[in-house]
Amino acid sequence: MGPTVDDVLDTPQFRETIRDLAAETGRSEADLMTEAEADLAEMATKPGNLTVSGWDRFCHWLARAYKLDYLPAEVERLKELNRESALIFLPNHRSYLDPLVLRSALEKHGFPPNNVLGGANLAIWPLNHVGQRNGIVFIRREFREDHLYRAVLKRYLAYLIEHRQNLEWYIEGGRTRTGKLRPPRYGILSYVVDAFAEYPEHDVRIIPTSIIYDQQHEVGAISEEETGGAKKAESLGWLFDFAKSQSRRLGRAHLRFGEPLSLRDALSLTLDDEGNARPRLAVPKVAFEVADRTNAVTPVTPSALVTFALLDNGDRAIPVPEGRHILEPLLTYINERNLPVTQEFDLSDQGPLREALETLVREGVVTDYDGGDESIYYVELEHQHEAAFYRNTIIHHFVARSIAEVSLVEAAEDDAQDAAAATWRNARRLKDLLKFEFFFPTTPEFARDMEEEISIVHPGWQEESWTAAGILSVLRDQRLFLAHRVLGPFIEAYSLFADELEKFPVTEEIDEAELVDRCLGLARQHWMQRTLHTPESISRDYFRNAFRLADNQHLISPDEPDLAARRKAFAEELRMLVRRIDDIRLMALASGEPLLTERAAQVLGGGRG
């Protein structure tokens, strides 16, 4: 039975909020309460005769393109935890099917439906009526300036927390456009943390949740939006088309759960000198910890590995033997680091990687050509973002290694007197430049990661005897190079953005949307001229994050001092990073001989100067 209006709104805290809003706006308390009741009716779940089992059957049908891959023992542990604590599931967001996939696993183990906070843009008839009777809480996408709506939502969440109801929402605020996690949105989490601070008698555990797919029908539309296309509005016709698209098998949906995070423990870290909790200080810490734990359990899939091999090959096709050569050292690294995988991988002609390649060809993401003496494979321009989406589901596992590679090359090319100190300094700067793209651990943990990664490349690297002159010879002996595939597209997009920012008059205000659109157009031009290494850099998200970085570096506002000089230095720094990643790309090519011809190396060695 769902809560009544009185249960949610008739509390001293909410009555006080109504009085404050009446005084602030001049509206009557009765008028505000009437609007509050309407807001609650719009968002809250409802009792009804549309059964949970019927809804579950509909969800199974809608997600019929996938076979569910999850670990029953993980769900059983969560069930035990749920006996003593309310749970908040915070999944990543890749597909509209995410809530259905999670629900499918939980209902197999007797979980009641979560209270799922979803966007009101999906409240399409008849989905809105059925969904509200099966745990979906429809929330407006924008309500920052609607103080009454915010108060109603906070009160409703407090009621659910007080009554130990399980919650679920998608902290990124929308589906990823690039395949990797987006920066978290703090709004709902801050409301929940405030609500828990009101009712701390029972702990609440946050469950980091990873959901990824072998293939996704909607990736094509997502990729089009990312390169500048318009998003198609949700409607009954859209829902019909989406359901129809799930008619063919697309592989597995992989569900994993990270280590639960106690809200009580998180709040204890924010105590002031008098022992009082400061809930809002916990919000960003919790959000980033959830993202880190989600990334940690996200498994490597065959589709991600295949696209990893096919991208950044200089706009050319490769045969299967070359793909094996690219992936063999990567698979060795995955095993050495004990990274999570969906299954055992091998490079045979009949293994899961071959199956993933054939599926990608069938879905049109990869193109094959068999008119010569061997089959070759490539990703056409219009599908580069789709392929990158699958690859990007796993690149967080390789960011530390990639930063290590670039930091070492930079130390060598700068002829650093103290190679170890320079490498560490370079790594910290790269972490700062990429902080809006990836979730990094604390500085001490990051230092340990760097030490471990560089030790894999060259044990004893911190010894004084290791000079800058010896770094390149050590690197050239490696078989695994990742920076050009993992960091290259981001650094190249940032460099293009910085070039445009440098040209912008320092006395003028910058419109973010206009500058991002300008960069999208220029990136397309550079790709057509083949002065970009990958069309993946034609990315709205990448340019938006570049803007956030520039703003963080105080390079946007015309009121900042020495703006022209600092914008120029920023652009030069990124151009240098592009060139250093080019150097790593050439090292990777050299490690692949004799598979690659000298001409291919020359083509791939080109880039933006």
The string of pLDDT tens digits covering residues 437-466 is: 999 988 899 999 999 999 888 887 777 677
Residue 52 is predicted with a pLDDT of 58
Name the pairing type of β-strands 136-139 and 86-91: unpaired
Residue 607 is predicted with a pLDDT of 41
Residue 48 is predicted with a pLDDT of 56
- The tokens describing 435, both together, are 């902080």
Residue 55 is predicted with a pLDDT of 67
Which amino acid appears at position 72 of this protein?
Answer: P
What CATH code would you report for 302-393? Answer: 1.10.10.10
Contact 534, 384 (CB under 8 A): yes
- The tokens describing 104, both together, are 């499918």
Residue 557 is predicted with a pLDDT of 94
Low-confidence ranges of the chain (pLDDT < 70): 1-6, 47-56, 120-133, 225-247, 271-277, 314, 464, 592-609
Contact 200, 190 (CB under 8 A): no
Contact 135, 169 (CB under 8 A): no
Name the pairing type of β-strands 204-213 and 86-91: parallel
Residue 28 is predicted with a pLDDT of 92
∠ CA(300), CA(323), CA(302), 5° rounding? 20
∠ CA(57), CA(170), CA(341), 5° rounding? 80
Helices (H), 414-461: 419-433, 443-457
Contact 177, 226 (CB under 8 A): yes
How far does CA 374 lie from the centroid of its chain?
37
Homologous superfamily of the 5-297 domain (CATH): Glycerol-3-phosphate (1)-acyltransferase (3.40.1130.10)
- Closest residue by Cα to residue 347 from 299, 312, 306: 306
∠ CA(397), CA(398), CA(402), 5° rounding? 155
Q: What is the DSSP letter of 554?
A: T
Q: What are the domain boundaries of the chain?
A: 5-297, 302-393, 397-478, 486-605
- The tokens describing 22, both together, are 């009446």
Residue 495 is predicted with a pLDDT of 97
Q: How far separated are the first and last CA of the chain, in Å rounded? A: 65
**Model's pTM, two decimal places?**
0.86
